[in-house]
């Protein structure tokens, strides 16, 4: 057994898991074109979930805060982006790609800005008074999520809101008999870019070093002369902004959103954070990709099991690795 573990470790360890899952799915699906389409869809979905979940993982790991209101930022990000895109519909339909891109990035920018400001408010007013008290954290952040949903209902109404997409992200690429949606490629690349930026920030900068150290031992970071409470606010704002960006991306992916979006995504986001390992960006990425791939493969192979696929994945991984796939060192 040890030899198998060592061999798997040399090949990449837990990072090999999505490759193994994809290889198994290839055998079971049989048709290469369907497999490629499902794999790209799974990776794109995984990257969008990663955006939503990465902030929660850091907040969980660094601040030991159970923020059930995290998905409120996802919802607001989605609706704000949808509104900005609707407002700039003229730019979206224009032939000029530059106007398409400008509209898209203004929508994303608005979602991120909301996430930063709302994250600051949420941390300062709602979370700070209940540090170190998990029960109250759950109650107050769940309450905040309900309030946020009601605010969305009051502002945007209860009917589903359609989300216009920029012209340049519409349609699909046809490679032989393989069909790949352009939006999915874009979602994957954007997610990858955000991951790279987060990875470099955490591993190549002093603030990243502080965050990683704070996830392990907050008290010791303070004993070295750093105000972790100020770091908390910054991390919370960053996590909220990433969630809002994830929501904006998800809105473009779904093209029709409802106020229940946040509550629906909350379960998936928590599953990703738990199976990835608390406080770890690599773990969150791994967990999100696993969830994305499994949802697509099982949805194709055994549709009746699709809804349960995430739960089955979580149970299987936690039985194997109770602390998740790649937890931060504590």
Residues of this chain that interact with another protein (CB under 8 A) are 206, 209-210, 212-213, 215-217, 219-228, 328-330
The three-state secondary structure class of 172 is strand
Nearest to 76 by CA among 107, 45, 50: 107
- Judged by beta carbon, residue 10 or residue 206, the one nearer another protein is 206
State in angstroms the smallest separation of the CB of 277 from another protein.
Answer: 11
Short-list 221, 298, 311, CA closest to 41: 298
Residue with smaller CB distance to another protein, 63 or 169: 63
Report the run of H or E that residue 161 belongs to, with start and end.
strand 161-162
Q: Which is nearer to another protein, 46 or 61 (CB)?
A: 61
- Closer residue to another protein, CB minimum distance, 95 or 219: 219
CB of 327 to another protein, least distance (A): 10
Indicate the burial class of 197 (C-beta count within 10 angstroms; 0-12, 13-18, 19 or more). exposed
- Write the DSSP assignment of 55-91 as a string of letters: HHHHHHHHH----TTHHHHHHHHHHHHHHHHHHTHHH
What is the closest distance, in whole angstroms, from the C-beta atom of residue 230 to another protein in the complex?
A: 9
3-class state of residue 195 by DSSP: helix
d(CA 301, CA 267): 23
Q: How far is the CB of 67 from another protein (least distance, A)?
A: 22
Choose between 230 and 304: whose C-beta lies nearer to another protein. Answer: 230
Nearest approach in angstroms of CB 238 to another protein is 19
Helix (H, G, I), strand (E, B) or coil at 291: helix
Closest CA to 270 of 238, 216, 304, 314: 314
In angstroms, give the least distance from the CB of 223 to another protein. 4
Output 222 or 264, the one with its CB closest to another protein.
Answer: 222
């Amino acid at each position: 057994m040890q030899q198998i573990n060592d061999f798997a470790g040399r090949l990449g360890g837990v990072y090999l898991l999505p490759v193994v899952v994809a290889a198994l799915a290839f055998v079971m699906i049989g048709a290469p074109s369907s497999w490629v389409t499902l794999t790209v869809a799974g990776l794109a979905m995984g990257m969008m979930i990663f955006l939503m979940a990465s902030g929660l993982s850091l907040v969980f790991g660094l601040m030991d805060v159970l923020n059930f209101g995290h998905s409120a930022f996802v919802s607001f990000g989605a609706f704000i982006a949808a509104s900005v895109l609707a407002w700039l519909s003229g730019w979206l339909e224009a032939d000029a790609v530059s106007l398409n891109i400008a509209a898209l990035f203004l929508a994303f920018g608005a979602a991120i800005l909301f996430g930063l400001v709302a994250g600051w408010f949420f941390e300062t007013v709602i979370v700070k008074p209940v540090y170190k008290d998990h029960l109250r954290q759950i109650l107050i952040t769940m309450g905040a999520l309900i309030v946020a949903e009601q605010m969305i209902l009051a502002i945007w109404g209860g009917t589903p809101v359609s989300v216009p997409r920029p012209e340049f992200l519409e349609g699909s690429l046809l490679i032989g008999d393989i069909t790949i949606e352009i939006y999915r490629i874009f979602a994957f690349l954007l997610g990858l870019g955000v991951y790279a930026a987060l990875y470099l920030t955490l591993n190549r900068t002093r603030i990243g070093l502080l965050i990683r150290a704070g996830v392990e031992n907050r008290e010791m970071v303070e004993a070295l002369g750093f105000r972790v409470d100020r770091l908390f606010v910054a991390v919370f704002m960053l996590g909220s902004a990433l969630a809002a960006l994830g929501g904006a991306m998800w809105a473009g992916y779904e093209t029709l959103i409802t106020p229940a979006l946040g509550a629906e995504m909350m379960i998936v986001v928590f599953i990703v954070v738990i199976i990835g390992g608390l406080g770890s960006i690599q773990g969150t990425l791994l967990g999100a990709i696993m969830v994305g791939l499994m949802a697509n493969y099982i949805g194709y192979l055994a549709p009746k099991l699709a809804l349960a696929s995430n739960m089955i994945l979580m149970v299987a991984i936690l039985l194997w690795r109770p602390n998740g796939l790649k937890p931060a060192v504590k």
